[in-house]
């Protein structure tokens, strides 16, 4: 079945519900190379688990999620020595997939309310934005709301500063 798509829709259902069969994390500060069976292609993959430079446990680099029983059994067999050594350990706490709410993640409705709010409130929120996409959306909403030139100039200057790297993002 090498290279073919997995027709087992239970794996797709588990992934869409965000309920992995098992989660493992690296057990020490160094890098760990583990083997996994890809649930879709049924090919063996090497995955490097590591900590980012800030030293925090990052969901994308320190953890591996296994989405089928077959994949889990393969993982335990292929990485037996790493599991016995504690280099990789089972992770039994549910991981949150929620993202942190910030000025960068405002909805269209929230942005519309923001651009129609007093200038100082708008300024305070915009100064906390670190994403070009969020600023571009804010500028678009301000243009649609026909905000004063002072507001538009502030937004464009803020975007320019962010794009030039003069702001810490």
pLDDT digits (tens, 9 = 90+) for 113-151: 999 999 999 999 999 998 888 899 999 999 999 999 999
Task: Give the CB-side neighbour count of residue 108, counting CA atoms within 13 A.
Answer: 3
Per-residue pLDDT for 6 more than 70?
no
Between 16 and 141, residue with greater pLDDT: 141
Structural domain spans, the chain:
9-90, 103-164
State percent of the chain over pLDDT 70.
78
Q: pTM, whole model, 2 decimals? A: 0.51
In 3D space, the residue among 2, 86, 12 whose CA is nearest the CA of residue 37 turns out to be: 2
pLDDT of residue 17: 57
φ, ψ for residue 92 (rounded to 5)? -105, 0
Report the alpha-carbon distance of residue 74 to residue 6 in Å, rounded: 16
Using 50, 70 and 90 to split pLDDT, how confident is the model at 51? confident
Q: What is the mean pLDDT of the chain?
A: 82
Helix (H, G, I), strand (E, B) or coil at 65: strand
CA distances from 90 to 48, 50, 63, 82, 148 (A): 16, 16, 10, 11, 56
Task: Give the CB-side neighbour count of residue 17, counting CA atoms within 13 A.
Answer: 10
pLDDT of residue 98: 58
The two beta strands, 22-26 and 88-90, are: antiparallel
**Rounded mean pLDDT of 25-34?**
86
Between 62 and 117, residue with greater pLDDT: 117
């Amino acid at each position: 079945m090498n290279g073919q798509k997995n027709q087992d829709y239970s794996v797709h259902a588990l992934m869409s519900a965000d309920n992995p069969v098992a989660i493992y994390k690296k057990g020490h500060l160094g890098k760990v190379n583990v083997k996994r069976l890809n649930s879709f292609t049924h090919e063996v993959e090497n995955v490097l688990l590591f900590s980012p430079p800030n030293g925090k446990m990052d969901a994308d680099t320190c953890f591996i999620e296994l989405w089928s029983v077959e994949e889990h059994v393969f993982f335990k067999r292929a990485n037996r020595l790493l599991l016995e050594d504690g280099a990789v350990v089972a992770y039994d706490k549910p991981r949150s997939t929620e993202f942190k709410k910030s000025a960068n993640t405002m909805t269209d409705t929230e942005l519309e309310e923001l651009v129609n709010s007093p200038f100082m409130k708008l300024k305070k929120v915009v100064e906390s934005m670190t994403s070009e996409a969020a600023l571009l959306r804010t500028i678009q909403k301000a243009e649609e709301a026909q905000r004063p030139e002072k507001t538009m100039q502030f937004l464009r200057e803020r975007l320019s500063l962010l794009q030039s790297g003069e702001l810490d993002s």
